[in-house]
Every structure is written in structure tokens, then in C-alpha cells.
Structure 1
Amino acid sequence: MERRRFLSRTAVLAAGTALAAGPFQGVAAHLRPDGPRRPGRGYGPLRPVRDLRDGQVRLHLPEGFRYRSFNPAGSRLGDGTITPGRHDGMAAFRGPRGSVILVRNHEVNGPVGAFGDPAAAYDPMAGGGTCTLRVTPYGEVLDSRVSLNGTQMNCSGGPMPWGSWITCEETVNGPDVGNDFSGGDNSRLRRRHGYLFEVPAAGRGRPAPIRAAGRFAHEAAAYDARTGAVYLTEDNFGFPSGFYRYLPPKNPMAAGRLLDGGRLQMLAVRGRPNADLSQGQPEGAVYETTWVDIDDPDPAFTGTPSNNDAIQAVGMQGRAKGAALFSRLEGAIADRGVVYFVSTQGGAPVTQPVPSGFGDGRGQVWAYDTRSGRLRLVVESPGDVALDLPDNITHSPRGTLVLCEDGGGDNYLRGLTVAGELFDFARLEPVPEDDGAEFAGSTFAPGGGTLFVNVQTDAGLSFAIWGPWRDGPF
């Protein structure tokens, strides 16, 4: 079930604007649906591989790669807590004696009650949060525990170089807001949601939201060491999304953590108020950008507005000042001064049906240069045969991007090399009882010897994948 893989290479830049040389500089803005220009060799064809945990086939991988699944939903953590489902965003940190510390999100919605100790929860009625595991590079669990509970819809986030994971709530649920699509009763929640929380790799997260970083449908966070800013994506499913940056009152590397009380801003295209970048883009599109301030990043709602109104409250402030429109911004990662982020349903309309919501394409990958302030389109998908609704992303030690797909049918882990090659690395074996299963939370262990990734579903689990990395672009 291999799919065609191709990218054209071109140096054409919109309006004659040139970016500094760097990763993905030669990658065109469009994949071609009619035939390969430059096939991505990657690591070769995929084949079914048995899970070393129990012998079942869960992944299709290239020759020579092996994997072990671990910590499925319903199993017990080392502290006795039942592992929740909906495994999502994740980061890997160096652990003692060659081990790896994983901090992992659980995107649980609704007032279902906190997992773990309710006395330690931010909101004892909310069922999301994070688990921290210490594992070997081969997916053998050495220790595991709850590290943050009582949050909600913990979707993605980002690893921070001072040794923390920023976890993001993809919701604005709370007792002051009407019910969302899940049908849960928000009046049962005790606290407001829609914030960032920090979880140290070596300890428990503080149940204190970073309110100045906004209350909106947060997805991912990426840190820029030069400026100390944290770049944020918004996955506002039914409405336009924005690309944000949070400027903390003190550089987190000096403070040792991300402080509240900073300034939130939203990206705009210079000279083009409310530029709609969710639509199909010209090849090599590059935009000069600026930033607009969000005056009230943590709005206090009265009268219990609808969830649809509340979830747009922060973004509408930015768009009133000319901020750009995107479709469903999800994964983000920073690499050498560039923040790469994904627009899951961005791009020109395609023939294949797309999920309901804002955006009719099959996905875009954008690159924001934090030094020049230029925004560049790296890839726009022409259809699901080439790239199907990219979601979480990370990068390998060599700079190759890893894209987790969130489409219908087969779901892949795909690689996008700095030379402009797109290739399939892994395919998820269909889960008969859950056709919505998808890859999420890809992250390389320090040193790059193991790729960890999750399957997000009610019966979620995590994988450790290892093999002959030097034979290919990761």
C-alpha cells in the first residue's frame, strides 16, 4: 500500500523576496499529484513488523526497524494510577543511566473527573493531563507516574531547553462557557480552561495556568532561544486560527521556567490586513510579517456565552487589528531560528472530502524565520495521496521533519528532508474497533537513537522505534 512520494524543487520566491539559505530552502510549495519528480528514497518500502511486546502487528516499517509498544490505556502506572487514553503530544528528555524521560499528554475532554490524586488536580472534574515515564531506549518502562492532572484536552505542546514540557489545552471549556461539541456539562467544571501549563521533566507540574499566554484552543508551543519568545499554534476547528507568540516578562532560560505576566501577540502579514493564508498559495510563497498585540488574552466571560463565541474571543481581537487567518494550526517545532508549523486543513480545495471545519485543503507546512520575520510556505498538499492532513511534527538530529498524519484511511509517519524529499516511514495497522486512530507525539530520544510516538485513541499506547537510522535521512 505504498503511495507515490514526490516534491519538486524550485527557488522561486513570491515578489522576488529571498530568504537566507537554510533547511528546506529549495523545497517547492506544492507537491504534484500526477507523478513523481523526485521520489523520496527514505528507508525503503514498508512491511508489517511484529510488536516485541506481544507479537501483534501494529506498525509497518522499513527493513531493519523494530519496535515495542508500552503503557497502553487501562494499564497501571508505577504510582498505581490507571493510564488514561488519548495519548497525544510528547517530549523526550535525557534520563539517568542511559534512560529516557517521556512527558506525555492525554487529550481527554469532558467533566469526567481527574485521573490520579484529585486533591492535586488543577480541576478535580477535568480528565486530561500528563504522565511522565522513564523508559529504556527499547520501550521498557522503568518508572511511570502522573505529572499533571485536572486539565482538559491536553493536545500538544513543546519541549523546552531548560528541562520542561509545556502542555497546551485545546479548549476554552469552563463553568463560564457553554457546552462544546462533546456534549459534556461545563457547569460541572470547577476551573476555567484553555491555558498553558509547565511540567518539569524531573518533577510534577504546577497546577497554575500561564494566563497571559492566552485562553484559546492551544495546540503546540516552540521556544526561540534568541528572543526568549514561545511561539504558539491554535487549532480552532470550526473557525480561523492564528499564529501567536508569547513574550514572557523574563527569558525562561534565566528564570528557569516560563513566567506568567508577559505579552501575547498574533502574526499579521505586512501590508495585507487579514490575509487568508488558509487558501491555496503560489509556489514559493513568502510574506513579510508583523505582530499585533492581544489586549485581553484571558477574557472573563459573563452570561455564559456559547462555546463557539468563547473560543474565538482571543483570535477576534487579533483579527480586528489585521492578524492573518490560517486553518487549524497544529504541530510546531523550532530548529536553528526557524519555527516550522502545520496547517492541517490549509491549502487549495481538493477532490477528496475533507473534515468539516474551517479549511478545505489537505495540509500545509509553514516556516517562520524568527530573525528576518519572514514567513515561507514549505509544502502545500495537492491531495491525500501525497500528504494527508499533517498534525504533530518534530525533527530528527539531521533536520528532517517527521509529520504525523491525521487523515482518513491509512495514517502514516512521513519524513520531509532538507533536500526536498518526502517519504513514508511508518504506517499504522488499521484498528478495527477505532477507525479514528492516528499517530501523535513523535519525538526523538536525546542522541536520536530511538523515535518515540503515540497512537491517539481511547485505547491509546506509545511506541519506541529503533533501527538503521544512518541508512536514511533521519
Structure 2
Amino acid sequence: MRLDRRHFLRLSALGGGALALGPGFWRDAYAAPAQPGPGPYGAMSGTADANGVRLPAGFASRIVARSGNKVASTGYTWHPAPDGGACFATGEGGWVYVSNSEMSSGGASALRFEGGGAVVGAYRILSSTRTNCAGGPTPWGTWLSCEEYSGGRVWECNPLSASQGTVRPALGTFAHEAVAVDPVDRRLYLTEDSTSGRFYRFTPSAWPSLGTGTLAVAKVTGDPLTGATVSWVTVSASQPASQQSNASQSTVFNGGEGCWYDSGCVYFTTKGDNRVWAYTPATSRLELIYDDNLYPSSPLTGVDNVTVSRSGDLYVAEDGGNLELCIITPDRVVASFLRLVGHSASEITGPAFSPDGKRLYFSSQRGTTGASGGGITFEVTGPFR
């Protein structure tokens, strides 16, 4: 069951009954998908700063790590091809930013910051894995690092200390991209980066242990512009859902990418059709909240990693396009927030806010060189609402 693009392009549907979602994000019921408009921070600067970043007035950037270089005075060499990331509080007023490495050697590293923002540590939290793309944080303070290849699995890591990580095979064997944890419904949601990908749900046997549980994939009924519902088809964790005997019973999502939970909703992106989705577990409702083909003038293309700010704004990173990090506001406006200049052969990865919401981290996976060894990890500060 493949979601046919033409169903989403019926302009007559745009004025119809779109779904009311979680209170933390879509506050307006019966609204159309996000369309271009002015962002809450105004236009980006006309020229890039010294770090090659165009930002709105009042914001500033700094580089906190470069692939192949020592991190600050730590002596630790930052990994190549930085990808998905998240922040964790240390309990000492500081925080840690975790970043995957999308290389054949895989793994993940962490940057430790003290309360004033200085980098005071860097270390490896996962080794001996492969093609670690995105992942997601858990409410109990661990990082779930996802392997992106057909035999890929999920590894649970302690972000606060150097560690090997623990494989979680019950979360499936497929080309994992990202994972989001719903602490209310006590389930995990996972995306698959494949043209025949599915949207997965994992229900632990004993929350919050991820050792055993039930894996299922979404079956969508109805049109996500006018009212779609999701039911779940149980699958084996041993191989991709597309290769299983009941594959025809589930819905194909073309190239699943970022996935993030916030205030009762699970947001995820699909790069094959440049869409952003919202699933509400409490109602089993699915809504298409952005499709770049609906508004040709939209700044957001090449949708990839996502995160949500404290104000409920959804930040979507671009893999392609003009290398922007775009924002979709709760009143359904999509606008550019920042742009990297001179990074045309790269992609923006790993957007994540510090625990206090005042600092935004992200990486240019291949930097200005276009090579995996040229990755750059940034921090942006400013008047985030």
C-alpha cells in the first residue's frame, strides 16, 4: 500500500478538515499544511559570518568540533561524517551533545560542556558498529544509535561516559534512520531509510527495558490531508518489513528520515517525497503537515533530521537544497532559519537544543570539502523563543 502522491496534491483538500494534533505543536485545528511565510526571527543576514553561517539578527555561531581534529584541549579526535545528535543534561549544570558517525566504521562520540558553554570533554560512546546515521534520546537518559543498512540494528548508549553500548535487536533489523520515544504511550517509533521503507512501532514487554517487545509497522487508511488513521501490523524483528510475508498489509513510506516526539505527537520526515508527517498515538491519526510540491516557492527541500524547540517550533534540516535549517511554526508557516555557505556537497545533520533551549547544535556532515573527513559541528546561540 503505497501512499500515492496525487492524493496529497488536490488543492480542494487544502481547505478541508485537517487533523488537530498535540497541544505542544499544532494549536490550530482544520489548518492546511505549512506554507511559506515570514519566520519568527526575521530574515537571515545577507552574508555569512566568519564560520560560513547566515543567521537572523541577534544570533551567532561558533565551531565546536571538526572531523579529524582534536576537540578543544581534550586530546580527543572528532569523528568523520557527523550525523544524528541529541543533548543530555549532566546534572552539574552542564550538558552533553552526542553525535553519530555515518561511516563504515560507525559509532558515536560526545562533547561535554560546562554550565557556561565551554567544552570540557570529548569521548567515544559507541564503537565497532556500522553506518550510524540518526537515532534518538530516551526519557531515561540514554542515546539510541541507529545503523543505516539492511542488516542495521539499534544500540543503546550511555552519553555521559565512554562505553561500548548495548545492541537492542528487538527494535528490528533494517536500514534504521531515527527513533522517537513516547513516554506517555510507552512506545518507540522508528523510521526506515529505504524506498520501500515502513514506519515502525516498538512496544516493550516491560517498560522501559528494550530487551524484548513487539515490533509492528503502520497501515494507513484514508487521506492524511482530510483524515487518516493508522493501524499496526506485527512483524518480525529479524529482517526488514518489506521482505516479510505480510508486507502487502502495511504502507510504504519513501525514505524515512528524522523522527521526534513532542507533546503527544510523533513527527517524522520522508525524503523520497519531501514530506513532513505528524502521528498522534492517542487518536491513531496521521496528518501530512508539509509537502514541498504543494508550494513551489517553499524554502524547505531535501527534508532530513528534525527536532522541536521549547516554543513548539519544528526545525527541519536539509540534505540538499541550499543547505538550510528551516523552521515550521505552530501556526503552520515554513521559513528559513539559517543557511550554510560553501557547503554545497554536504548536508545538515543532528540538530538538537541544549537542555535549557538556549543553544542549538548541528553539523555539516562533509563541510566545505565534500569529504567525510571534512565534517564540522556548530553551536548557535541567540534569542530563541
Q: TM-score, normalised by structure 2?
A: 0.87
* 8 Å CA contact 1:30, 1:381 repeated in 2: no
1:62-81 correspondence to structure 2 within 5 Å: 62-76=56-70, 80-81=75-76
Over the aligned positions, Cα root-mean-square deviation in angstroms equals 2.4
Asked whether 1:140 is paired with 2:67, we answer no
Q: 1:372: Cα distance to partner?
A: 0.8
| CA–CA distance in structure 1, aligned partners of residues 139 and 145 of structure 2 | 14
Q: 1:321 Cα shift?
A: 4.7
Supply the AA of the counterpart residue of 1:73: S
Q: CA deviation at 1:169?
A: 0.4
What is the CA–CA distance in structure 1 between the aligned matches of 2:354 and 2:275, rounded to whole Å?
26
1:234-273, CA deviations, whole angstroms, 9 ceiling, x for partnerless residues? 011xx31100011122111xxxxx4222111000024x7x
Distance 1:68 1:148, change over 3 A: same
**Which of 254, 262, 265 is the equivalent residue of 2:213?**
262
1:25-47 deviations in Å (ceiling 9; x for gaps)? 4541364xxxx6xx223212212
Query: What residue is the counterpart of 1:119 in the other structure?
Result: none
* 1:437 match: 346
Mapped to 2, the partners of 1:233 and 1:159 lie a distance apart of: 14
Counterpart of 1:460 (choices 372, 375, 378) is: 375
Tell me if the contact between 1:266 and 1:318 (Cα under 8 Å) persists in the aligned partners: no
Which of the numbers 89, 109, 127 marks the counterpart of 1:94? Answer: 89
Contact 1:292 1:321 in 2 (8 A): no
SS at match of 2:41: coil
Match of 2:196 among 240, 253, 259: 240
Secondary structure class of the residue paired with 2:244: helix
Match of 2:152 among 194, 198, 207: 194
Q: Residues 30 and 135 from structure 1, CA distance in 2 versus in 1: closer, same or farther, beyond 3 angstroms?
A: closer
Which structure 2 residues correspond to residues 304-323 of structure 1 after superposition, within 5 A?
313-317=240-244, 320-323=247-250
- Percent identity between the two aligned chains: 32
Shift of 1:171: 0.8
Could you tell me how far 1:297 is from its partner in structure 2?
1.5
Q: CA deviation at 1:10?
A: 5.9
Q: What CA distance in whole angstroms lies between the structure 1 residues aligned with 2:220 and 2:327?
A: 29
Shift of 1:139: 5.6
Deviations 1:192-233 (A, max 9, x none): x50000112223444432111111000010001122111000
1:297 to 2:237 alignment: yes
Amino acid at match of 2:238: D
Residue 403 of structure 1: how far off its partner (Å): 0.5
- Residues 21 and 202 of structure 1, relative CA distance in 2, 3 Å threshold: closer
- Distance between the aligned counterparts of 1:9 and 1:133, measured in 2? 46
Q: What is the CA distance between 1:136 and its match in structure 2?
A: 4.5
Correspondence 1:333 to 2:260 = yes
Q: Is the 8 A contact 1:289 1:374 kept in 2?
A: yes
* Counterpart Cα distance in 2 of 1:137 and 1:49: 28
- Identify the residue that residue 255 of structure 1 maps to in structure 2: none
* Distance change in 2, residues 1:96/1:228 (3 Å): closer
* Corresponding position of 2:357: 448
Question: Which residues of structure 1 form unaligned runs of 5+?
Answer: 1-7, 51-55, 110-126, 173-192, 253-257, 273-280, 300-312, 347-362
Assess if the C-alpha contact under 8 Å between 2:82 and 2:102 holds in 1.
yes
> Is 1:29 paired with 2:33?
yes
Tell which deviates more after alignment, 195-204 or 334-343.
Answer: 195-204
Which secondary structure does the structure 1 equivalent of 2:107 belong to?
strand
Which residue identity does 1:98 align to in structure 2? G
Taking the TM superposition and a 5 Å limit, the aligned residue runs for 1:12-411 are 12-13=16-17, 18-19=19-20, 22=23, 23-24=25-26, 25-29=29-33, 31=35, 39-47=37-45, 48-50=47-49, 56-76=50-70, 80-109=75-104, 127-136=105-114, 140-172=118-150, 193-236=151-194, 239-252=195-208, 258-270=209-221, 284-294=225-235, 296-299=236-239, 313-317=240-244, 320-346=247-273, 363-382=274-293, 385-386=297-298, 387-408=300-321, 410-411=322-323
The Cα of 1:318 is off from its aligned counterpart by 7.2
- Structure 1 residues 318 and 72, CA gap change in structure 2 (3 angstroms): farther
CA distance in 1, matches of 2:103, 2:38: 36
Identify if the C-alpha distance between structure 1 residues 207 and 444 changes in structure 2 by more than 3 Å, giving closer, same or farther: closer
Which moves more between the two structures, 436-445 or 316-325?
Answer: 316-325
1:401 maps to a residue whose letter is L
| Stretch moving more, 328-337 or 89-98 | 89-98
Q: CA deviation at 1:82?
A: 2.9
SS of 1:43's partner is coil
8 A Cα contact 2:67 2:375, kept in partner: yes
Give structure 2 stretches of 5+ with no counterpart.
Answer: 1-11, 367-371
The alignment partner of 1:469 has SS state of: coil
Between Structure 1 and Structure 2, which shows a larger proportion of strand residues? 2
Residue 181 of structure 1: aligned partner: none
Q: Output the amino acid matched with 1:242.
A: R
Give yes or no for contact 1:65–1:468 (8 Å, CA) kept in 2: yes
Is residue 156–residue 220 contact of structure 1 (8 Å, CA) maintained in 2? yes
Distance (whole Å) between structure 2 residues aligned to residue 416 and residue 9 of structure 1: 20
Structure showing greater Rg: 1
- TM-score by length of structure 1 reads 0.71
> 2-side partners of 1:80 and 1:41: how far apart?
40
The answer as to whether partners of 2:103 and 2:131 remain within 8 angstroms in 1 is yes
* Paired residues, number: 361
For 1:148, give the aligned amino acid.
Answer: L
**Equivalent of 1:418, from 320, 330, 353?**
330
The answer for the alignment partner of 2:4 in structure 1 is: none
- Aligned-partner Cα distance in 1 for 2:126–2:219: 34
CA shift for structure 1 position 292:
0.4
